[in-house]
Structures are given as C-alpha cells and as structure tokens.
Structure 1
Amino acid sequence: MLYQELKQRAAAGNPIRVAASGAGWMGSGFAAQMAHVPGMELSVLIDPDLEAACDAFLATGLAKNDIVEATAVGQAMDAICQGKRVITTNVNLAAQLEAIDVMTDVTPSPASGADTAYAAIQHGKDVVLINIEADVTVGRMLKKLAADAGVLYSVSSGDEPGCLMELVEYVNLLGFEPIVIGKGKNNPLNPAATPDTVAESAKKANKDAYQTASYVDGSKTMFEMTCAANATGCVPMQRGMVGPEATQETITEIFSLKEDGGLAPHPGVVDFVQGSSMAGGVFVTVRVQDDRIADDLKYLKVGNGRYSTFFRPYHLWFIEAPISIAKAVLHRQTTLVPLDEPVADVLTIAKRDLNPGDRLDDFGGYTFRGLMDTATAVVNENGLPEGLAPGAEIIRPVASGSVITWDDVRLDETSTVVKLRRQQDQLK
C-alpha cells in the first residue's frame, strides 16, 4: 500500500524530496498540502518572487529560520541536510541538488513548465508536472528527452486530464467501449471574457483576474481536453468542441452515438458539458455490448443500459497531485503521458484586432483565447499553438476572431519552450 510505504519512509527519516516551481495561488496550495502528506517533503520552492516563496512555506507552519534563500548548490544541500527548506529563483540550481528525488511545476505557464522539466531531465531527475499547459505545448518532446535520459516524465492527477485518464483506465479495464470522454465546465462559457469582465467574481474567489478569465473564455478547458486527447487518442467532435448543457440524468443520451440519437459521430471523442450538476467533474460515456451487464448497470442507475456514463464529481487539482508524485518515485508509475503522435492542439484566436507591434498578453487576457482542434487542422492552418502565445509580438495585422498563425508573430527563440516546440515539431 502506498500509504504504508510513505509512512515507512517517514519513520526512517527518508522522505521523498520534491522541488517545485511556482509560489502563486497553485504553488502555495501545493506547499500547504505537501505539509500534510507522510513520507514526502517539499524541500525546494522556486519562484522569481522569493518573498512569495518564503510566505508559502511560512503559511505551512515553518519558522523563518527554517527557510534558507540559496544561491549555490552547496548552500542548498547543507540546508536540506539540516532539515530546512530552500527557496531560490534558480531552477537549474534546484535540479542539481542530489537530495531532490523529483521535480514539478505548479503554474499554468508553459514557459515555466518547460524550464522546470528540461532542467530536471538534464540533471537526471524525474518530472511530474502539475501544469497541463506545458504538456500540451511540449509534452511529447519532454517525454522523449526523459526516456533518452532514463528518467520518468508524467502529468499528475488532480487536474481534469489526470483524473480523466484514471477514469478511462477504469472503464478500459472493465472492457467497456469509451464513446465520449470529458469534463464538466465550472462556469458558463464566454469567449469574450477578459480580466475586466470577471474582476468582481475573481475578487470574491480571491483569484487572479487573468486566471479566472482563462476559465471563462474557454482557454483552460481547451488545454485540459487537448491534454486528455493527446494521452488517449480521443479527438474533438469539432473545432472548439460542442459543450452542450447536460446533467447527470441527460448526459448519457446526449453523448450516445448519432445512430442511437446522440451527438457522438464515432467512438473515441472528447468534449465538455456545461451545467452546475456536473461542474468540476470528469466523465466517460461508454457503450455496453453485453445485455446482462447493460441490464445490471441500468439497475445500478449508471445509465440507460446500452450506454452508461461513469462520473467522478470532483477534481482536487494540486491537493491530490502528491499521490501521482509518490507513485512515480516509488513505483515508476505514470499518471498521464502524451502518445507518440499528436491528436489535438490549441489554436490561438485573436480577441480583438491586433496590429504590428502589439504584444500578446497572457491566458485569459485581452488579446487572445484558445480553441481546440485536431493536430492536423492546426498544422494545416499554420496555427500558432496557444502555449507559445504569451509574450509573442504581432508582426502582421490580425483581425478579431481570426486564427493567429506562426507567420503573424515574432517569438523569443532563446526561450526553452520555443526551442522544445521547434524540436517537437520535427519529431516523426
């Protein structure tokens, strides 16, 4: 049992030591959760804002003198050996620490995730990302580099793709045929959302307005379902998916095959639903071929018999991510990894007219949003992957609502995420 293994490591004073990038809302939450997991220790927190990193550790009950700001490997190792925690701005320093078993990135930034994962792999560390945006953008390349280096690469559970992957595995093991996999969106879709339009709700929830707008404008959902698609082979039904209103009572009928009155054109598609009863959960609608099992599932109120929907009503994001990290380190078990061939990607769509000299801001911002489509369609349209959009400079006019292409922007070719994406696009 994983719990018993972790308790034994705790008793032996040999915890799984984790280094994490990100001390914002997600990263500080991960730090808080890690403080309660036996046999695991968040030893290093990496962030450009050292005060935020320090505050994240202080909030877990550590004293100020338990936290060391490190600028050198030896200094950081000494601190960890003395039972202290390390904060640093340098991801490469963290990756070089012999005491660290595994690294993660707890941000929504593809650039940060790529920097963290690449540094870890280069220094022989396992990687379990709590960052699906990075996986969607350069996950195939990171997977290859990790395999070449003999280390593990995975995305964690907790966010919808990881939770959905576990549910897909469950139905596959039972021999059911997945028809549609997906998530329940937490809020109504408004592609025009900006930090201004969500400012009040973001303030009430104590969330960043950009982050909140990325949920509402659909960018986050597009990333999540693209991550799931690329790990399972399921394809979107259409550009941007359908996103129908659904409840636990109606979803099975909605996502049965078209030949049986539903929306699914064929088995193996990915989509999302709107509506409060399924918000925050993940689902897999399956077709059941065995008449006896179909009758039993109908009796158990899991569906209408021939079709059934398996629904997990929650995802706990960074709170359950430590389980994936422990499985990776102790059992060499991955939670979610992309397939060798891409299935889907996220296009970058202009939210307003853009002119040369404009700079794209960030997910949920004023200049762009994401829209999922098949990988083939994105390539054929020369679409700029949304994961590369933040900070890109517009060099040609782009009309509002149009796809932003590679030719429309100037990227920072020195950045790790751009370099890895260039390499990934050359993979056969």
Structure 2
Amino acid sequence: MSLFRQLQKRQEDQRPIRVAVIGAGKFGTMFLAQALRLPGVHVVGIADLNVQVAKSNLALAGWPDEQYSASSLNAAIQSGQTYVVDDANLLIGAPVVDLVVECTGNPIVAVDHVMAAFRNGKPVVSATVEADALCGAALAQKAREHGVVYSMAYGDQPALVCELVDWARTCGFEVAAAGRGHKWKPEYRFSTPETVWDHWGLTPEQAERGRLNPKMFNSFLDGTKPAIESAAIANACGLDAPSEGLLFPSGSIDDLPNQMRPVQEGGVLEGHGMVEVQNCLDADGDQIGYDIRMGVFVCVKAVTDYQKHCLEEYKVRTDDSGIYMCAYKRWHLIGLELGMSVANVGLRGESTGTADSFRADVIAVAKRDLVPGEMLDGEGGYTVAGQLRPSAISVPAGLLPLGLAGGVKVLRPVKADQPLTYEDVEVDTSLTAYQLRRSAEAMLSV
C-alpha cells in the first residue's frame, strides 16, 4: 500500500519511470488524461500512426500544447515534455524508455510491439487483451525468457479480477467463480457497427463527442469482448471456461452467490473454479437493479464450518446454504486506472496479471452466412463474433481463434452461428502472432 509514496520518492529523486505509450486511442487517452497527475512518472513518448489525431486526443484530455511539443526523445528527457511520433519502434528501442504501454487494440500489431520490447529488455503493460486471449501464455513465456515483466493493464476488467482472486486466495478462501458483468441479449451476437449505439444505450451524438469507435464498442456488445476478457481471466487465474460458452445468467449483485456455484448445488456452473459473465437484463430485456454490468466479482466458498459461521456472524450476504459469498468492484475505470500497472511494474517489477496457462480460448463464430472470397473483418465487425471455449476443446477441433480472424479470406462456405476453423480461411502463417499462437497451442500437450 505504498505505491504512491514510492512514486513521490522517485519524483523527489528526479528518477521518474520513463514510459512510452503505443496507441493514443480511447484507452491510451484515458491513461494520458491521468499521467500528468502521477508523480514519478514521465511519459517521454507517444506513438500513433496518426500523429495529428493523437495530439488532438491529448488536447481533449487536458494536456497543454507545450507538454507534447518536444521535437525528439532527448528533448523530451531534458524538458520533461513528451515526443509524439508515428514510429512505435523508435520508442520501443530507445534506451531512455523504462516501460512500454501497448494499447493499440490490434492483437497482430500488439504482439509485434510486445516482442520488440522484450528484445530490447523492456517490461510491457498490455492493454490489448486481445493478444492475451490469442497467445498470452506464449507471450508470458517469452517475457520470462527475456527476463522482463509482461502485465495485463489495471483498469481493464481482467486485471481487476486477478486482484480479487489474489485477495481471495491469499485470505485462504476457495475460489468458486470469477468474472465480470455485461448487458446481454442472445440477438446481440449478430450486432454490427451500424446497430451498436441503439443497443448500447448511447446516442450517435454522445458517441461522436466521446470519439468512440463503433467497431470497438460493438465487440463489447456482441459478446466478443466478454469472451476475450473471460479467457484472459481464466488463463491468468487458473480457472476454467464453460464447455459451450458463456451462459450470461441474469441477476443482480446479490444474486451472484446463488448463481456462481455448481449446478448440483443450485447454481449455474458446470463445476468449481469457473469464469462467467452476469447479465444485467432480465428475460424481458428490462434492466435489473444493483447490477454488476460495469464491474467485476469473485465468488468464494467457505470450506470449513468456522469460515461459514464467521460469514454468518459478520452478516455477510451469502447464498442460501451460507457457504458462498461474493466480493466485487462495481465499476472499472479502464485507462484512468492504468497508473496502478505502471507503478507496480515500474517500481516493484510485479505484474497486475499474467497468463500462467492456456486453459481458455476465444473462437471466431460467423454472424451471417459467409461465402468463399470475402474477407473477415475481425473483432466487433460485420462477419464474426468471438465466443469462449475451453482450449482443450477448441485446439483439437482446429477452431479459428478470433485474434486471427481479421483481414483474412474465406475459403469455404460457413453458415451463420457456426464456428470457423483454420481450414475455412487463408491465414498468414508468417505472422509472429500466428507463430506464438501455435506455441500456445503446443502447451496443451506438454
């Protein structure tokens, strides 16, 4: 509980953590909105393919013009300002950079950035959770081989769940389930960027004001992002994925203890130690009160009578058996909270969540009938959505990971609502992301 004091000390000693941010989209801008308020942290460089848009986002986030006017990295170091450039590798390879924050959101590009950082001996905080779902276990192994830290981004839900699971286990509880909330109707899995705002509950004007990317937000709505984040949680926390995908049980926070237990005990789970997503809409599509839509939870089980009695004595809300309880964080603030990862990695050399295994996977499922010759448009688009599966099922079946389903040609017809396989598409096998994905798949047989 001393991170802020340690940051203050770094500021006093004039030894700030020098950070390079790759990608100045929504997540990156949210972090940058906070970065000027963090003692002991100096964002020395920002890389984005569109420098003018990046600078516009900095202005939107409240940065004064002079703060991002440095003409070079050296000038940024001398002045305390920030250098904005379109070349990520220039920042990643710079000796003055202590830590790389990757937040492009593109798993193929992100893997290249992460691996370049490792080769340059730099730790990485990755907000591109898509890369974790695709090949996180292999990336974590590469980080260990290079002697650096690879971390999920605090503020995104997977890292917040990792924190809750770590709390539970460190306290001596058994973790029954963990996950996040969502707004879900089964028909949302067919949503496109054209339909997202009505479903999401925003007007086009609100979306434009916030410079919100309809494809990115559609990936939340159509179930892709919940699947991606659930896979990251499972792989970092040693939890299992449901065999037929997420169930999205409807309920409030107070319903979680009864729901997040095995079916044979009255819950919805296949077994103990699962990931799941709770739905904030009831069967009629109406909003449920006191929901966890924007938050995260862990459900724990009292494994001794003494634990159970303590829960009763301290008036903990439990399931009807008195042995399951839920701890939660109702809100997550995305990039506004990323300072926690920067501080943990930069000061302690400790991640805020890393894949330890490849237990859960996100597969590409057709949103409509697909025909040979057309191109898949990846996460949040018009052609495919991501669904969660156990890796032990998806890998032997040759199912196509969602992370490789962008910009690839369809070779065979695929019916709507059917999973795609590697054989259905033309994948570029020269991609580093593809090769690391195959390395992650090989871990299942070890």
TM-score by length of 1: 0.93
The answer as to 2:147 corresponding to 1:153 is no
Amino acid at match of 2:5: Q
**How do 1:139-288 residues align onto structure 2 when only pairs under 5 Å count?**
139-186=136-183, 188=185, 190-200=188-198, 201=202, 203=204, 204-205=206-207, 206=210, 207-275=212-280, 276=288, 277-288=291-302
In the alignment, structure 1 segments of 5+ residues that lack a partner are none
In the alignment, which of 316, 323, 346 is matched to residue 306 of structure 1?
323
How far is 1:187 from its partner? 5.1
**How do 1:25-104 residues align onto structure 2 when only pairs under 5 Å count?**
25-68=26-69, 75-104=72-101
Q: Secondary structure at the match of 1:178?
A: strand
Q: Secondary structure at the match of 1:273?
A: strand
Aligned to 1:367: 383
Q: Give the conservation status (yes or no) of the 8 Å contact 2:137–2:235.
A: no
Q: Give the conservation status (yes or no) of the 8 Å contact 2:363–2:399.
A: yes
* More displaced 10-residue stretch of structure 1: 193-202 or 85-94: 193-202
Aligned to 2:131: 134
Q: Secondary structure at the match of 1:311?
A: strand
Q: Secondary structure at the match of 1:236?
A: coil
Q: 1:264 to 1:306 in 2, by over 3 A?
A: same
Q: Distance in 2 between matches of 1:136 and 1:202?
A: 31
Q: Give the conservation status (yes or no) of the 8 Å contact 1:108–1:132.
A: yes
The answer as to 2:408 corresponding to 1:392 is yes
The answer as to 2:364 corresponding to 1:342 is no
How far is 1:346 from its partner? 0.5
Q: Distance in 2 between matches of 1:309 and 1:79?
A: 46
In the alignment, which of 321, 330, 340 is matched to residue 338 of structure 2?
321
What are the superposed Cα offsets for residues 23-66 of structure 1, whole Å, 9 maximum, x if unpaired? 11222112112122111122211111111222233345544454
Q: 1:297 to 1:412 in 2, by over 3 A?
A: same
Q: 1:282 to 1:61 in 2, by over 3 A?
A: closer
Amino acid at match of 1:417: A
Aligned CA RMSD, in angstroms, stands at: 1.9
What are the superposed Cα offsets for residues 314-369 of structure 1, whole Å, 9 maximum, x if unpaired? 11211111111211121111111111x31010110011111222111131111000
Q: Secondary structure at the match of 1:355?
A: coil
Q: Give the conservation status (yes or no) of the 8 Å contact 1:114–1:417.
A: yes
Aligned to 1:112: 109
User: Structure 1 residue runs of 4+, over 6 Å off?
Assistant: none
Amino acid at match of 1:365: G
* More displaced 10-residue stretch of structure 1: 374-383 or 299-308: 299-308
Q: 1:202 to 1:114 in 2, by over 3 A?
A: farther
Q: 1:256 to 1:60 in 2, by over 3 A?
A: closer
Q: Secondary structure at the match of 2:398?
A: coil
How far is 1:221 from its partner? 0.1
Q: Give the conservation status (yes or no) of the 8 Å contact 1:347–1:370.
A: yes
Q: 1:396 to 1:297 in 2, by over 3 A?
A: same
Amino acid at match of 1:361: D
How far is 1:16 from its partner? 0.8
Amino acid at match of 2:279: Q
Q: Distance in 2 between matches of 1:389 and 1:155?
A: 22
Q: Secondary structure at the match of 1:296?
A: helix
Q: Give the conservation status (yes or no) of the 8 Å contact 2:21–2:46.
A: yes
* More displaced 10-residue stretch of structure 1: 100-109 or 197-206: 197-206
Q: 1:374 to 1:18 in 2, by over 3 A?
A: same
- Give the paired residue count: 423
How far is 1:289 from its partner? 2.2
Q: Distance in 1 between matches of 2:246 and 2:19?
A: 36
TM-score by length of 2: 0.90
